[in-house]
Amino acid sequence: MGTGPAGDAARLHTERSGSGLGLSVVRSIASAHGATATARPRPGGGLVATVGFPGG
């Protein structure tokens, strides 16, 4: 893999290991700002993550 943002993006799409804490952290941050964070499986693999902020 390369270095920098392009290399990081490639790694994110292929790496399957991790602690599984990412969504929990995102949900905590979103909640602190009055937002919501959800994730659902994507057909064919992966997931769809959505962060919604209240309208102003």
Helix, strand, coil percent values for the chain (each to nearest 5) = 40, 20, 40
Q: Report which DSSP code applies to 56.
A: -
pLDDT at 54: 87
pLDDT in tens, 5-54: 555 555 555 556 666 778 889 999 999 999 999 999 999 988 899 999 98
Predicted model pTM: 0.56
Whole-number Å distance between alpha carbons of 50 and 53 = 10
Structure tokens at 37: 């964070």
